[in-house]
Amino acid sequence: MDVGDPVVKLDNVRKQYGSFVAVHQADFSIGRGEFFAMLGPSGCGKTTTLKMIAGFEQPTAGHVFLEGEDVSQVPPHKRNVNTVFQQYALFPHMSVFDNVAFGPRSKKINEAEVKTRVNEMLEVVRLGEFAQRRPSQLSGGQQQRVALARALVNYPSALLLDEPLAALDLKLREAMQIELKRIQREVGITFVFVTHDQGEALTMSDRIAVMSEGRVEQVGAPVDIYARPETLFVAGFIGSANLLPGTVMSSDAAGTRVQLLDGTQVVVAAGNSAPTAALSQGNQVTVMLRPEQVVLDGEGSMKVFITDTVFQGSSVRVVGRTANDTEVSAIVPAGSNHKAPSAGETVSMQWHASAPYLLEGWPETAGSTTTNVDSIEATL
């Protein structure tokens, strides 16, 4: 998938170790000034892909381009990219200023220019007043910002980040997501961010490449990845979803009628399906319903027996089972004005006409992707 003015371009890149293929035909471009995430479970090939962009690994086949130049066989130190890892690798005996100045000084830039660059970058990461401190005197978030300033001070074509937030606690990680996006927007440099955390990718990215088992499943904007997944893997991996297998009964200009395994019939609006979904009568398909799109009251054809409710602050996650014992979940508002059903009740499951989304094939495990422990563990 190409973009205008690409900084990084992967042209059918493949990486193989012996008989094991770590990356299959990665083919996409990353635009100038873009915040681009590679997202997927452990072992999906995202870090290997990042290493091929950085030059730490060479592709078995295909080509890596940087600023239009084929750098597939160019060593890392001759590529105009910098990398930030989980371990910040700051020099403990140096001050913050000297850590950031290390790169420009190694390039023999005159000291006046070094001072200007370093001070500018420390202001960008909001650490100007900490210039003379040692890394041991900083918090984890501050150390990470020093690592970012050091990586950005030479103004690379792209900054590569390999799960840099993984070592931070939850609240700091969430704050750093916003901070990282602010820094990227302010410096205008292309960021390529590797993560297994979908929340990070959805929060920060302009576009996301979702990977599984070495293959790029989908590339797109966060809202498109979430609302219009192209494969069952993407639908189940991104956010929470109810994946309900069924069979196409009919399809016309108005939409597609699907009969689910519990006998419920669902009408999917025309155009509300993945590009690969075959809509011919008798085809096996999956209806995706996001939990926040589900309403558990009133009259509806799908009856759900409530098994559990989980208070989540501003909302309540309600878990139940359909007539054929498929587990489903819904998210309803919390508070005195909204009463969530209780365990042991039987309610009707409803949704807006535009909510159902159709995908090709049946999932390995039907129902809620949030409550199935085996499925969740398989993606970690």
pLDDT at 298: 58
Q: Give dist(CA 311, CA 324) in Å, integer.
A: 26
pLDDT mean over 240-268:
93
DSSP for 201-245 reads HHHH-SEEEEEETTEEEEEE-HHHHHHS-SSHHHHHHSS--EEEE
Side-chain-facing half-sphere of 192: CA atoms under 13 Å: 29
Architecture in CATH of 241-378: Beta Barrel (2.40)
pLDDT mean over 309-327:
90
Structure tokens at 201: 């990718």
**Statement: residue 164 has pLDDT above 90:** no
pTM above the 0.95 mark? no
pLDDT at 376: 46
pLDDT at 349: 86
Q: Give dist(CA 190, CA 28) in Å, integer.
A: 15
pLDDT mean over 64-82:
95
Q: Give dist(CA 46, CA 354) in Å, integer.
A: 33
Structure tokens at 40: 């997927």
**CATH code for the part of the protein at 6-227:** 3.40.50.300
CA-angle at 152, arms to 149 and 153, nearest 5°: 80
Nearest to 195 by CA among 66, 81, 85, 55: 85
**Statement: residue 377 has pLDDT above 60:** no
* Residue 146 identity (one-letter amino acid): V
In the chain, ranges of CATH 3.40.50.300 domains? 6-227
In the chain, ranges of CATH 2.40.50.140 domains? 241-378
